[in-house]
């Protein structure tokens, strides 16, 4: 995945396996902060997470037109902040990437999936709060 250095603006390629830790900028050598926000995932990044992530991942399947999805967004962001360094949080736009939604039989959104070592540990449709998301990730070993 690509992370932008807050010190110099350089874009740095960071392997998913190291996404929950700190890394150094290739240009200025400043430390990149621990990832504490949801990652917009396309199929390539999603598959990289499935294959290489060493921590559980929460996936939020959403769409721009979905009111409950918009209400869930701050909760998803808060979960990503609370679980920084211990889990990954992905957002998959079902309009842009319907093949990912179909892969997990997502028929209503928002829909949340927790993945560990590439396998589904939990899946639930409907609006939930940050506390529930954090509990799912904790139960999955975060």
Could you give the 3-state DSSP secondary structure of residue 100?
A: helix
Query: Which candidate in 5, 8, 28, 66 is catalytic?
Result: 66
In the chain, what are the domains? 1-35 (no CATH), 36-139 (3.40.30.10)
First-to-last C-alpha distance (Å) of the chain? 20
The whole-number pLDDT of residue 16 equals 87
The backbone region for 48, taken as left when phi is positive above 0, alpha when psi lies in -120 to 50, beta otherwise, is alpha
- 5 is annotated as an active-site residue: no
Secondary structure element (H or E) that encloses residue 64, with its range: none
What's the length of the chain?
A: 142
The one-digit pLDDT tens for each residue of the chain (142 residues) are 889 999 999 999 998 878 787 789 999 999 998 889 999 999 999 999 999 999 999 999 999 999 999 999 999 999 999 999 999 999 999 999 999 999 999 999 999 999 999 999 999 999 999 999 999 999 999 8
For residues 85 and 74, give the distance between their C-alpha atoms in angstroms, rounded to a whole number: 19
Longest CA pairwise span in the chain (Å): 45
Task: Give pTM, 2 decimals.
Answer: 0.92
| Residue 32, beta-bridge partner list | 23
Tokens coding 3: 């992370």
């Amino acid at each position: 995945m690509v992370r932008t250095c807050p010190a110099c603006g350089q874009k740095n390629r960071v392997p998913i396996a190291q996404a929950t830790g700190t890394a150094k900028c290739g240009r200025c050598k400043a430390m990149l902060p621990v990832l504490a926000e949801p990652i917009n995932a396309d199929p390539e990044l999603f598959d990289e997470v499935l294959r290489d992530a060493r921590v559980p991942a929460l996936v939020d399947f959403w769409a721009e037109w979905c009111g409950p999805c918009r209400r869930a967004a701050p909760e998803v962001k808060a979960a990503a902040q609370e679980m920084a360094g211990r889990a990954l949080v992905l957002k998959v736009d079902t309009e842009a990437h319907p093949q990912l939604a179909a892969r997990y039989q997502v028929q209503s959104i928002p829909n949340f999936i927790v993945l560990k070592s590439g396998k589904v540990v939990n899946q639930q449709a409907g609006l939930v709060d940050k506390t529930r998301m954090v509990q799912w990730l904790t139960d999955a070993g975060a």
